Copies of this chain bind each other. A is one copy, B any other.
Amino acid sequence: MYMSKIFSLALLSTGLLALTLNGDDLIKKAKDSGLRAIPSDKVELIKLIDNPKDPITDAKVELGKKLFFDPRLSRSGLISCNTCHNLGMGGDDGVPAAIGHKWTANPHHLNSPTVYNSVFFSAQFWDGRSPHLADQAQGPMQAPPEMAAPKNLVKDRVVSLAQYVKDFKSIYPNEKEITFERIASTIAIFEKTLVTPSAFDDFLNGDKNALNDSEKKGLNTFIDKGCASCHTGIAIGGTMQPFELTGKYKFANLGDFKGDSKGMVKTPTLRNITETAPYFHNGGIWSLSEAIKEMGSIQLGIKITDDEASQIVTFLKTLKGRKPVISYPQLPEESATTPKPTFD
């Protein structure tokens, strides 16, 4: 009798769950909460990421890819964009704080954010000080604890490599010289293409079976717990949420980085999150479920249970995206005029 009562309750609960997880309803709920899919239609996607003043072309993407992988854009000739934004490792480096020139850790102990889907961020860098990737890409090349190459060194290296000169001339025929800013903007065009649609996008785009029941349950919990209030939009993060400033939402004091003028840091994207440990702006936590519970406590002022965290992890796994296939580029040969690497 007692057993059968439990059994009925379990059935009832399963029934309720099934009702909650109706695909159409959940898609609507997700969209209502601000979550957005990467468009499955390529034309629509291009519209979102392209800048008509400097449109994406195959030639720019190919040149940008070479530059992204070229360690000669660094002072030592050893550190490329891909060193800290490794496209084989979720687009970051897998260490708490970036290590750059002369084995220097980032002085603010900042974790390298993923480059994948960064085109969807409303602001770049943890403090959101940069408006877009073409601007952002100028930072790490110059920063002394990162690639440590002054603008002129980057430019002189590129100009000394005949194949690059040929490529730039062919792509930007009206430009008299190759500028540092143009090098950065070309890298940014490659980065714009680093978009990784996942099972979750397929689901939001209407394929109700793209998520299984556990994943749907996890998504539901993710929304119900309030995670989607900051982790929103196409990047499922990537914005400086204004309501983070109200006082209720205040980022954990996990490092000495001061954030923006209000002490805030950008909400990171959750796409490919299972590949980008450790977490937070200071890489302070390695476990995804611990990170979820920490956010519940600090950002949302709620307790997220182990079970709920586990459900959310199940959902987050569906954000592991399909990466663009990238053929490793053959980089231009050096010439007699190529500035030599220096290590101090």
Stretch in contact with the other chain, from A98-106, A133-141, A169-177: A98-106
Q: When the two chains form the complex, which single residue of B95, B326, B327 contacts A77, counting CB atoms closer than 8 Å?
A: B95
Q: How far is the CA of A327 from the CA of B87 in the complex (A)?
A: 11
Q: Which residues 73-99 of A have a CB within 8 angstroms of B?
A: 76-78, 83, 86-90, 93-95, 99
Q: Give how many copies assemble into the complex.
A: 2
Q: How far is the CA of A103 from the CA of B342 in the complex (A)?
A: 12
Q: When the two chains form the complex, which single residue of B76, B83, B275, B325 contacts A333, counting CB atoms closer than 8 Å?
A: B275
B105–A93 CB distance below 8 A: no
Q: How far is the CA of A287 from the CA of B323 in the complex (A)?
A: 40
A330 contacts the other chain (Cβ, under 8 Å)?
A: yes
Q: Which residue of B lies closest to A88 (CB)?
A: B331
A71–B86 CB distance below 8 A: yes
A343 contacts the other chain (Cβ, under 8 Å)?
A: yes
* Size bracket, chain A contacts: 35 or more
Provided the pairs A328-B328, A331-B89 are in contact, do residues A77 and B94 lie with their beta carbons within 8 angstroms? yes
B77–A333 CB distance below 8 A: no
A274 contacts the other chain (Cβ, under 8 Å)?
A: yes
Q: Which residues 300-344 of A have a CB within 8 angstroms of B?
A: 323, 325-331, 333-334, 336, 340-341, 343
User: Which residues on A are within 8 Å of B, measured CB to CB?
Assistant: 66, 69-72, 76-78, 83, 86-90, 93-95, 99, 102-103, 105, 274-275, 277, 286-287, 323, 325-331, 333-334, 336, 340-341, 343
6 A-B pairs within 8 Å (CB atoms) are namely: A71-B94, A95-B341, A95-B343, A102-B103, A325-B327, A327-B328
Known A71-B93, A275-B334, A327-B327; further 9 A-B contacts with Cβ < 8 A: A69-B88, A70-B88, A78-B83, A86-B331, A88-B328, A88-B329, A95-B341, A326-B327, A327-B328
